[in-house]
Each structure stands twice: as structure tokens, then as C-alpha cells.
């Protein structure tokens, strides 16, 4: 039998790597188990960039967590010397009554967040790369920007290792069970015991958390990189913001400045416009009709962007029916098991604070952070969400 740990963390992607760091920083003896290698691209914590923002259209309840996450970004950068967050400014664009605009404004006003409201002529003047319709407006947030997912995961793993965590890669959990006052975790290589278990399964939640009572839906997503017509000059950070753009039909697309130079151009994607899949059956090939659909959509909003297609990559959203997270002690095992899952395509910006919350829950059973919105009991009777089109 392997040594007894204080906490075993299952999954070392975004949330799990942060949990391993925060737990080990508090002196816990931590074992982390990951089915792939470190900082892999088989789940959701990859792709070079993720948007971060505070004027949160999903729900004002997220804002306190975002404010703490921003603090933790800075701490992570200082501790590791890695580039984590770049606040280049961002615009949430759409008609005034769109969820993207009205929800962002609600959060900004409720939490007194600095912001500006821009009409269409002002959007065009400030950001000539963008071409809004006359009836569209934008909320501009100077403290929006992007985070580096691979750097963030690598930084948390670096700190966890430095603090004594035992991290095992290419060693997935096969099953776990209650054992004495804690848990016993089995892999193909070994059996481990611990007082507590933290499960951060990502897209593997439907398989690993069948007893949670949450109808997860796993959705294939595609990220695209285009070379702007005429080069990346107007698309560099400082001139071109991150953006989320909701059109009249309710379709949301999002994009970034050219943050990696001319070789990778600028990244864009649809937000929630993918097919239901599983981690085992996901189509990793990006097809020509998908590339053309993305280019056609962006040509109406950012006319100079869809020049030469450079590359694409797939990832997965792990959706809950209401698109809010699940972060809680496991209802069936509240003394020993903590879960973090169902981040529904908007979770990565919360990685540092979720790690802090998971350490709180695993070690003390409670957290001062506001996580009532993420109780899995709300979803026990909810149907799984199908394909969004």
C-alpha cells in the first residue's frame, strides 16, 4: 500500500493543478493523478489564450470570484516568472438588450466596476478593426484581457511540485471507494489512500461523477487562427481588444488581438456552437466547411481578419443545463469528496480562485467565497442540454 496522503487530486488540468498548488501551499500531503502528460491538449486547458473579464454577463454573482482571481494571477506571475494575464482591454458588443451587453452592464453597475458604454460610431473610431452595425453598442472594460492557459497550468504544477506535491502523469484513476475515514483510489499501477479526495474531471465528468446527479453535456468546440489581411499591425494588443460579439440572432463569437506575432495571426471562435461528443469520440479534425463558416461570420464584424487560414484546434466544453459551475462537497460523500466540474466554456478565468476554494473545502469543509450558485442540488432533476446551434 502506498503512503497515506492528506488529499488526492484527480485531474491536473486548470482546476486540478490550481487545487494541487493551494493544498500543498497549506502544508497538505498531496497526490495528483492525471491521465495524460503535464500541460496536455486533450481536454480544455489549452489553445494559447482565454478571455478574462470582470463585467460578467453570465451573472453578477461571479464578480467577487473574478476580483480574487485577478489578485491570484498577479501572485502566480510573481512566484513563477511566467506570463499569465495581459489586460489589453475588451469590448462586449451587441444590441443594447442582448445578453452580452445588458448582462455585462448589470454586473458592472452592481459592483461599481470601471467601464464605458460606446455607441457604434465610437466603437469604429476607437477600434477601426471592428465594424458594428448602427444599432449595436459595446461595453468597454479596460481590465479585460486574456490569460495563458498552458502557462497557468504549468505555473501551478511548478509551485505544487516545489511545495512537495507528488504528481503522477499518465496514471488515470480507475475507481475510488470510501476507506476508513477517507478514500482509497485505484489506478492500473497502484492503490493509494488519503483523508480527502478532490475530483476535477473536466470532460470526463459524466463518467467519473455518475453519482453526482448532474446531467452534463460534453460539447466539441473549435478555435481558429487567421492571418489578418494586410498583416497583424492593426490587430496588436493596445490597438485591437479582446471581444465577445453577439449578433441579432443571438450567436456569440469571440476573438483576441494578434498576441503571438504574425506567425499565428489572431484567434477567433464561436461561443457555444458545437456538437455533443465524448472525450473518446470527439472529432479532432477541423473541416473546411467549419473554417469557411467561421471566416464568413467574422468577415461581417471584423472585415480585415479572415485573410489566410493558419490553423485550428479542438477543445471541449463540459456543460451543465444552466451553464453555471459545480463546485461543492459531494452530496453523497460530504466529509471526504470535493468536486469541481461543469465549467461550461467560461471557467478558465476562475482557475486560481477555484483552486483556493477547493483547498478550503477539502481541508476545512467550508469556504468564505460565495459559491451558493454552484451547488449541484440545483441540477439533480434537470435534463441534459442538447446541441446548441
- Domain residue spans in the chain? 5-45+150-214+322-379, 87-147+217-319
Give all strands (DSSP E) within 274-370, no chain letters.
308-319, 326-329, 337-341
Q: How sure is the predictor about 379, in pLDDT bands with cuts at 50, 70 and 90?
A: confident
Q: Which CATH superfamily is domain 5-45+150-214+322-379 in?
A: FAD/NAD(P)-binding domain (3.50.50.60)
In DSSP terms, which residues pair with 270 in a beta bridge? 253
CA distance 377 to 330: 10
User: Mind listing the pLDDT tens digit for each residue in 56-87?
Assistant: 999 999 999 999 999 999 999 999 999 999 99
Cβ atoms of 227 and 262 closer than 8 Å: yes
User: Mind listing the pLDDT tens digit for each residue in 110-127?
Assistant: 999 999 999 999 999 999
CA distance 341 to 324: 10
Give all strands (DSSP E) within 180-325, no chain letters.
182-187, 191-199, 217-227, 242-246, 252-255, 266-271, 308-319
What's the average model confidence in pLDDT over 312-316? Answer: 97
Q: Which segments are annotated as binding site for FAD?
A: 6-36
CA distance 171 to 275: 29
Q: What CATH number belongs to 87-147+217-319?
A: 3.30.9.10
CA distance 143 to 55: 9
Report the pLDDT value the prediction gives residue 164, as an integer from 0 to 100.
98
What's the average model confidence in pLDDT over 287-301? Answer: 97
Count of alpha carbons within 13 angstroms of residue 100, beta-carbon side: 25
Q: Which segments are annotated as binding site?
A: 6-36
Q: Which of 49, 237, 265, 224 is CA-nearest to residue 127?
A: 237
Q: Which of 118, 59, 76, 62 is CA-nearest to residue 94?
A: 118
DSSP class per residue in 57-109: TT-GGGHHHHHHHHHHHHHHHHHH----EE---EEEEE-TTSHHHHHHHHHHH
Its pTM surpasses 0.75: yes
Query: Across the chain, what does the average pLDDT equal?
Result: 95
Cβ atoms of 271 and 260 closer than 8 Å: no
User: Mind listing the pLDDT tens digit for each residue in 127-166?
Assistant: 999 999 999 999 999 999 999 999 999 999 999 999 999 9
Residue 288 sits at φ, ψ, to 5 deg, of -60, -35
Report the pLDDT value the prediction gives residue 261, as an integer from 0 to 100.
85
pLDDT at 30 over 50: yes
Grid look-up 482565454 returns 50
Amino acid at each position: 500500500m502506498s503512503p497515506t496522503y492528506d488529499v488526492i487530486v484527480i485531474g491536473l488540468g486548470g482546476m486540478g493543478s490550481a487545487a494541487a498548488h493551494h493544498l500543498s501551499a497549506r502544508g497538505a500531503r498531496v497526490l495528483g493523478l492525471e491521465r495524460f502528460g503535464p500541460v496536455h491538449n486533450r481536454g480544455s486547458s489549452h489553445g494559447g489564450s482565454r478571455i478574462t473579464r470582470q463585467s460578467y454577463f453570465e451573472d453578477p454573482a461571479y464578480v467577487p470570484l473574478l476580483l480574487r482571481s485577478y489578485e491570484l494571477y498577479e501572485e502566480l506571475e510573481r512566484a513563477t516568472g511566467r506570463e499569465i494575464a495581459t489586460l489589453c482591454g475588451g469590448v462586449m458588443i451587441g444590441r443594447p438588450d442582448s445578453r452580452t451587453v445588458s448582462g455585462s452592464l448589470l454586473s458592472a453597475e452592481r459592483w461599481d466596476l470601471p467601464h464605458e458604454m460606446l455607441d457604434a460610431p465610437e466603437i469604429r473610431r476607437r477600434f477601426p478593426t471592428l465594424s458594428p452595425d448602427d444599432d449595436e453598442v459595446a461595453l468597454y472594460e479596460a481590465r479585460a484581457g486574456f490569460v495563458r492557459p498552458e502557462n497557468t497550468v504549468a505555473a501551478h504544477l511548478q509551485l505544487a511540485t516545489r511545495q512537495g506535491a507528488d504528481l503522477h502523469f499518465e496514471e488515470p484513476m480507475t475507481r475510488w471507494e470510501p476507506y476508513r475515514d477517507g478514500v482509497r483510489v485505484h489506478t492500473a499501477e497502484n492503490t493509494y489512500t488519503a483523508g480527502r479526495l478532490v475530483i476535477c474531471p473536466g470532460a470526463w465528468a459524466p463518467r467519473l461523477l455518475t453519482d453526482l446527479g448532474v446531467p452534463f453535456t460534453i460539447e466539441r468546440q473549435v478555435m481558429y487562427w487567421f492571418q489578418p489581411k494586410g498583416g497583424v499591425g492593426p490587430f496588436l494588443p493596445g490597438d485591437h481588444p479582446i471581444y465577445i460579439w453577439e449578433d441579432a440572432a443571438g450567436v456569440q463569437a469571440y476573438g483576441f488581438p494578434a498576441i503571438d506575432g504574425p506567425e499565428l495571426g489572431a484567434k477567433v471562435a464561436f461561443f457555444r456552437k458545437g456538437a455533443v461528443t465524448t472525450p473518446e469520440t470527439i472529432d479532432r479534425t477541423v473541416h473546411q466547411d467549419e473554417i469557411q463558416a467561421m471566416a464568413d461570420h467574422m468577415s461581417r464584424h471584423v472585415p480585415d481578419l479572415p485573410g489566410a487560414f493558419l490553423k485550428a484546434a479542438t477543445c471541449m466544453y463540459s456543460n451543465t443545463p444552466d451553464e453555471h459551475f459545480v463546485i461543492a462537497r459531494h452530496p453523497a460523500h460530504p466529509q471526504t469528496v470535493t468536486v469541481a466540474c461543469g465549467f461550461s466554456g467560461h471557467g478558465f478565468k476562475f482557475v486560481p480562485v477555484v483552486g483556493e476554494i477547493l483547498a478550503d473545502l477539502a481541508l476545512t469543509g467550508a469556504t468564505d467565497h460565495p459559491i451558493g450558485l454552484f451547488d449541484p442540488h440545483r441540477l439533480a432533476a434537470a435534463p441534459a442540454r442538447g446541441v446548441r446551434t
